[in-house]
Amino acid sequence: MTAETVFEVYMVLDHEEQNKLYDLVKAHFNSKYDIKKRKRKRLPDFSEADAMRYLIENVVMKKRKKP
């Protein structure tokens, strides 16, 4: 059986059965290859005042100190 044959059968199924087949294939694929999404590192909560203080202390003041 080829992928084209399976796709033709998939297209003949009603919408509910297409969803069931999709879920089965997705579950099999995920269990077989164990794909895990990386979670993004969240930035710490800080206020606008904290950001301004950081910029002044670390960017502006360092530029003034350089000869």
Locate the domains of the chain by residue range: 3-35+43-65
pTM of the predicted model over 0.85: no
| 22-64 residue pLDDT tens | 999 988 887 777 667 778 888 788 899 998 998 888 887 766 6
Inter-CA distances, 50 with 1, 41, 47, 59, Å: 62, 20, 5, 14
Residue found by looking up tokens 């084209």 in the block: 4
Residues 6+ apart with CB under 8 A from 21: 10, 13
Give the whole-angstrom CA distance, residue 50 versus residue 46.
6
Look at residue 65 in the predicted model and tell me its pLDDT.
Answer: 66
